[in-house]
Amino acid sequence: MRHAPVDPGLFAGNRDRLRRLLPPRSVAIVHAADVLPTNGDGTLRLSPAADLFWLTGIEQEESVLVLAPDAIDPAQREILFLRQPNELLATWEGDKLTKERATAVSGIPRVRWLADLPAILHGLLCDCDRVWIDSNEHERSSTEIEPRDLRLARRIMHRYPLHRYERLQPLVRSLRAVKADAETDLVRRAIDITAAGLERVLTTLRPGVMEYELEAELLAEFTRRRARMAYEPIIGSGKNACVLHYLDNHAECLAGDLVLIDVGASYANYAADLTRTYPVSGRFDPRQRAVYDAVKRVLDRAIARTTVGTRIRDWKRAAQVDMADELVGLGLINPAQRAADSAEEPACRTYFMHGLGHSLGLGVHDLAPQDGPFAAGWIVTVEPGIYIPAEGIGVRLENDILVTAAGPVDLCSHVPIEADAIEALMARR
C-alpha cells in the first residue's frame, strides 16, 4: 500500500457495528474485487473492494472475510482468508500479505489461506440459518460483469438451497454513510492533498497552457503525497467547462476563458471531491464574475442547509429555487419562466441540470440512503453550477461538508474559493 498504515481499530469498530445488525445464526461473506482485464494479457491496477476495505483494511486480490458471530468455536467468529504467498508470486507480483501482517493491518487474529475456505465455510453454514451476501447495489452502478460475491452466491445457493439468503448491502449502506472520526480524518487528508494540487495548478495556469499540463501538475502533487486520483479529473476550459463529464483534457487554455477543474485525491482509499473555476488570464471579466458570484451564493446557502434531518430531495429542491432566482438576475431566464418553476420542471434545468451533491468517503459516490435524511457523521459534496455554452462560460464550485449535530462543517474552507482571493493568488504567480 502506498499510504501510511491505518489504525486497525477503525476496521475492528466497523466489524462490530455490522455484527450488531446481524440476526442470530448468521454468516456474512465479503469478497475482494476482481482484477479487471484490459487488452491482451493486461490488467488494470486492483481497485480495492470498498466494503472489504471498510471491514478489514485489506487491499489484496482474492481476499475473503467471513463473519459468523454465533459460531460455536470463538476462533471462527471472524476469519480472513488470503492468497498464500509463494516464490512465483513474489517474483512476478511482489510480496503478498503474511498471516501476521494481515492481522496487524486488519486486527483480525484468525487468518487462513484460501485453500481452507471451502471446508471452514461448510462447517459454518451447517450451523447457521441465514447467509448474508454482499453485492454492488449503488443506484448508479453498472453490473454487466458478475462480481466475485455473486459468483460465490450462485455456488453456495446451489449446494445449500434450504438456507435463507440475505442482502448484506442495505446494512452496509446505512453504516458506511456515517463516518467514524478516523474516516473523517482520512477524507481531510485527501482534501489537503487536493488543495496542494490546486495550489500548484495556479502557479502554472496562464494563456497557452494545455488542459493536460494542468492534469500533470495535479498528478505530480498527488503522487508526491502518497495519493492517487480518486476519479478521472475534469479539466475543461472555455466551452469544455459546459460538458459535465468532460475527460479529454486536451485543449489549450485561452486568454479570457475560464477553466473548470473537478478533481479529488484518494488517500487510503478515501476520496476528496472539489471543483474550482479559475480565470485563465488571472481576472474574471464582469460577466464571468457575475456568474461566478451567483454560483457561490447558491453554494453558500446549500451548505447552510446541510443539516441533520434534511431530506436529500428537499435539499436539492431548495438549491434549484435559489438558482432560478439567480438566473433571472443574470438574464438567462425571465420572470415568467421563474414563476412556472416546479419540482417536476425546474426553471433552472437548462443551466443547472445535475444534482446538488452526493455522499463521499470510500469512493467518490459513497454509499448512503438515497434520500437520507442526513445524519451526524455524513460527509457530502455540495456542487452547484451554471453552464452557458453559447457564451463559453461554465462555472461549478464544490466543497465537501461534514454533517454534525451542531451544524455543517466545511472541510474545504481553507481552499481558496472567493473570487477576490483567487484573483489575488493568481496575481502573485
Within 8 A by CB and 6+ apart from 398, the residues are: 262, 273, 274, 275, 276, 299, 357, 381, 382, 383
- Model pLDDT, residue 143: 67
For 363-408, the pLDDT digits (tens) are 899 999 999 999 999 999 999 999 999 999 999 999 999 999 999 9
- Would you say the C-alpha torsion 298, 299, 303, 304 has a positive or negative sign? negative
- Model pLDDT, residue 46: 86
Cell of 154: 450462485
Q: Which residues pair with 165 in a beta bridge?
A: 131
pLDDT < 50: residue spans in the chain:
none
- Model pLDDT, residue 90: 87
Domain boundaries, the chain: 8-176, 181-427
For 108-134, the pLDDT digits (tens) are 999 999 999 999 999 999 999 999 999
CATH of region 8-176: 3.40.350.10
What is the model's pTM?
Answer: 0.96
| CA 429 – CA 45 distance, rounded (Å) | 36
- Would you say the C-alpha torsion 281, 287, 290, 291 has a positive or negative sign? negative
Question: Phi and psi at residue 41, in whole multiples of 5°?
Answer: -100, 20
| CA 228 – CA 354 distance, rounded (Å) | 26
Domain 181-427 belongs in CATH node 3.90.550.10:
no
Residue pair 163/129 in contact by the 8 Å Cβ criterion = yes
Please write down the long-range contacts of 117-126, taking CB distance under 8 Å and 24 or more positions apart. 117/64, 117/66, 117/81, 120/66, 120/76, 120/79, 121/27, 121/29, 121/66, 121/156, 123/76, 124/27, 124/66, 124/68, 124/71, 124/76, 125/27, 125/156, 125/160, 125/163
**The cell 492533498 sits on which residue?**
193
